[in-house]
Structure 1
Amino acid sequence: MEGPAGQEAIVTPWTVEGDVDYDKLIKHFGCQAIDERVLDRIERLTGTKPHHFLRRGIFFSHRDLNLILDAYEKGEPFYLYTGRGPSSESMHIGHLIPFMFTKWLQNTFQVPLVIQLTDDEKFFFKDVTLEEIDKMTTENLKDIIAFGFDPNLTFIFRDFEYVGKMYRIVARIEKAYTASQVRGCFGFKMEDNCGRWMFPAIQAAPSFSAAFPHIFPLGKGNVFCMIPQAIDQDPYFRLTRDVAPRMGFLKPAVIHSKFFPGLSGSKGKMSSSTGAAVFLTDTPKMIKDKISKHAFSGGGADKKEQLLLGANTNVDIPVQWLRFFLEDDEELKRLQKDYMLGRIMTGDVKKVLIQTLTNIVTTHQEARKRVTDADAELFTAVRLMGPAKEAAESK
């Protein structure tokens, strides 16, 4: 698909490049936009103001979110599913987005959550050893626990450890997928390793509640699943939704986020492989240096030009990042207006961003220090949770 300037935008689960037109993506992928009616319904049903990611259109499209809200309104259960593909020993701030939002969803709806750590995917798609993947996965696991998910409602699993327990589901999905479908959806080539062709079924399996009998008792019917994800992951679950009905499962609902841009500009998304990424292990000085030196500015070339013409906030990275992380709507609105009108300089906006990110990162670091090996064992233990625990206790 093409971006607004005619540049070809590449959006796949592994590559995001170019200017992404999200309205075109909605049409291209056949999704539905999240509009004010959806936000009003969420607030009415939960009594909670929608997360600023929803209010600002950061999570902007969905598939069957209305069915999830229908189920919640009827008192029927659903669960959340998200994941992480370990790619570095430290997550960067772009990785915060799905977990911050998922935590809000869990707190708001009080539902079970499963988090898949796709250590196998990284082995199939990256030139890394199993030992390197194990180390990255262990560190990322503790990063995720530090977000503060409810241990009574959260199950985190590594594919290498749990896939055997859901392999019957994986096998059924693999049999339902054809090689032609997988190639058409993901663009795999005959020289790609077999693991790549198989992996979509492994990522699909957690979207069916039967994969987790310790959470959802077998024989009690299907449970709806909702998946918060960046829109580049949508191909996985388009294919899953296609085969779900003939397997006797409910189609998973998905809710899509926009990409978090890199420091150097808005094209594509932030990557762990870039030296200018801001990591959750960075010190306040490192954050300040990276923002000050590398954040692309939409402001004037000098003070005179900024006072005269103001800033283009649509391309200004500090403003774009503040849309993700500055929670106060009025403060953000005021800052954008003053910047556009030339009342404040680029340095003023960067200063706000530096302080905002420093607070978020240092808060996470403090929480991360408190995560123990026992916490990791608790969250990854296959244990009775949610409806299964309630059913066992009622006997």
Structure 2
Amino acid sequence: MAARYLTRGLLENSSVLAELLEGKERFYLFAGTFDVSEQLDLRHLASLQFVKDVQTATAAPVVIILSCTDSKLSIDPAKRKACFDAQARSVLACGLDKSRTFILTPPSISSRIYRSVVDVSKCMLINEAVFCRLPQTLLGETFTKCLRIGQDRFPKAAFERANLPEPAVVQLKPLPMLQGELGNAQTFNSNCQLLFLSDDPPMIEMKIRKHAFSGGGSTKEEHEKHGANLEIDVPYKYLSYFLESDNEWANIKGEYGGGKMYTGAVKERLVCLVKEMLASHKMASMSISDKVRLVCAL
């Protein structure tokens, strides 16, 4: 299943994944940081499913860090712990191998992982060419996140200066908002733009049918003549991430792009798929023990 990310063009640095799938070297996957004060949505699910598929194909260990930016949760340890447990269950419910997945809470100040972060940050500079002409200063002073798409060369250089193994960076292209790149940022509403894992079936259907941006023709005649613009069509892009069947995906790509399939049919397929995925995720989350074991520090 991991191969579909290569064939559908969903990755940055796809050659790195191709090398990892060959199985010549041992590695582990760092799946990123998840804020427990935020609701998980389909963007998180896409990332976690990608990690799960690579783990299934390679049996690699997975490391995930849970963070908390809500100051209110930081004050109440009991609520904080409950949020960490709930988020950990949601993460594991994506199908990750529990025996090979390590979910870390914010590490203690003396932990090995924190010391490694400090060592690497001392070797990174925020130079004016990359970070909007900010004054040159040490990254460790601000802990600015540097791993946006296209910026993987910076941590690689820092690891080399710190005499640490160079990381292999594989980045999943970001899942678009429902209204796509053409949506008006001034009228942004996350409740309409995002599909949350907590959304019920009627909400899922309403959001996709009403808000998912279509690249189909404005009239039936135009659509049949020119086909859908798959570069901007959001329902098609979502199916590219989540539809496992390569044959069905290729059929939709050909029929919809060729004007033989209409937007309504593509949206209907996406509605059914998302409903199935979120129902399955909910059942899996409920089956995970309330006492999730979190690794507090390395």
TM beyond 0.5: yes
2:286 maps to which of 363, 366, 369: 369
TM-superposed deviation, 1:163: 4.9
TM-superposed deviation, 1:246: 3.2
1:199 maps to which of 128, 136, 143: 143
Matched, 1:232 2:126: no
> Are residues 173 and 130 of structure 1, via their aligned partners in 2, closer, same or farther at CA, if it must alter by over 3 Å?
farther
The one-letter amino acid of 1:86's match is D
Return the TM-score normalized by structure 2. 0.81
Matched, 1:260 2:202: no
Matched, 1:323 2:240: yes
8 Å Cα contact 1:266/1:317 also seen in 2: no
TM-superposed deviation, 1:276: 2.8
| 1:258-292 CA-partner distances (Å, limit 9, x unpaired) | 12111112359x99935331111111111111111
Aligned to 1:342: 259
The one-letter amino acid of 2:179's match is S
The one-letter amino acid of 2:280's match is T
Q: How does 1:1-395 map to 2 (within 5 A)?
A: 50-61=2-13, 68=20, 72-73=23-24, 76-86=25-35, 88-119=37-68, 123=69, 128-131=70-73, 134=80, 137-159=84-106, 161-166=107-112, 167-178=114-125, 180-181=126-127, 185-187=130-132, 197-200=141-144, 232=148, 235=151, 237-266=152-181, 273-374=190-291, 376-377=292-293, 379-380=294-295
| 1:206-262 CA-partner distances (Å, limit 9, x unpaired) | xxxxxxxxxxxxxxxxxxxxxxxxx72553x43321122232211001112212111
Q: Which has the higher helix share?
A: 1
Q: Report the Cα distance in structure 1 between the residues aligned to 2:249 and 2:295, rounded to whole angstroms.
A: 38
> Are residues 307 and 184 of structure 1, via their aligned partners in 2, closer, same or farther at CA, if it must alter by over 3 Å?
closer
Q: Using the aligned pairs only, state the percent identity.
A: 29
Superposition RMSD on alpha carbons, in Å? Answer: 3.4
The one-letter amino acid of 1:350's match is K
Q: How many residues align?
A: 288
Return the TM-score normalized by structure 1. 0.63
Q: Report the Cα distance in structure 2 between the residues aligned to 1:175 and 1:158, rounded to whole angstroms.
A: 23
Q: Report the Cα distance in structure 2 between the residues aligned to 1:317 and 1:146, rounded to whole angstroms.
A: 25
8 Å Cα contact 1:91/1:280 also seen in 2: yes
TM-superposed deviation, 1:338: 2.2
Q: Report the Cα distance in structure 1 between the residues aligned to 2:197 and 2:121, rounded to whole angstroms.
A: 37
TM-superposed deviation, 1:169: 2.0
The one-letter amino acid of 2:71's match is T
Structure scoring higher RCO (CA < 8 A, sep ≥ 6) equals 2
> Are residues 248 and 342 of structure 1, via their aligned partners in 2, closer, same or farther at CA, if it must alter by over 3 Å?
closer
> Are residues 67 and 248 of structure 1, via their aligned partners in 2, closer, same or farther at CA, if it must alter by over 3 Å?
farther
8 Å Cα contact 2:178/2:192 also seen in 1: no
Q: Report the Cα distance in structure 2 between the residues aligned to 1:306 and 1:175, rounded to whole angstroms.
A: 55
TM-superposed deviation, 1:293: 0.6
SS in 1 for 2:98: coil
Q: Report the Cα distance in structure 1 between the residues aligned to 2:189 and 2:29, rounded to whole angstroms.
A: 25
Q: Report the Cα distance in structure 2 between the residues aligned to 1:382 and 1:251, rounded to whole angstroms.
A: 22
Q: Report the Cα distance in structure 2 between the residues aligned to 1:139 and 1:272, rounded to whole angstroms.
A: 25
| 1:130-187 CA-partner distances (Å, limit 9, x unpaired) | 417947554332211212322222211122x445312332332233334x54x66545
8 Å Cα contact 1:155/1:381 also seen in 2: no
| 1:281-310 CA-partner distances (Å, limit 9, x unpaired) | 111111111111111112232444434543
Q: Identify unmatched segments of 5+ residues in structure 1.
A: 1-48, 205-230, 384-395
8 Å Cα contact 2:176/2:234 also seen in 1: yes
The one-letter amino acid of 1:199's match is F
Q: Report the Cα distance in structure 2 between the residues aligned to 1:333 and 1:350, rounded to whole angstroms.
A: 16
Q: Report the Cα distance in structure 2 between the residues aligned to 1:367 and 1:320, rounded to whole angstroms.
A: 25
Q: Report the Cα distance in structure 2 between the residues aligned to 1:153 and 1:272, rounded to whole angstroms.
A: 37
Q: Report the Cα distance in structure 2 between the residues aligned to 1:65 and 1:332, rounded to whole angstroms.
A: 21
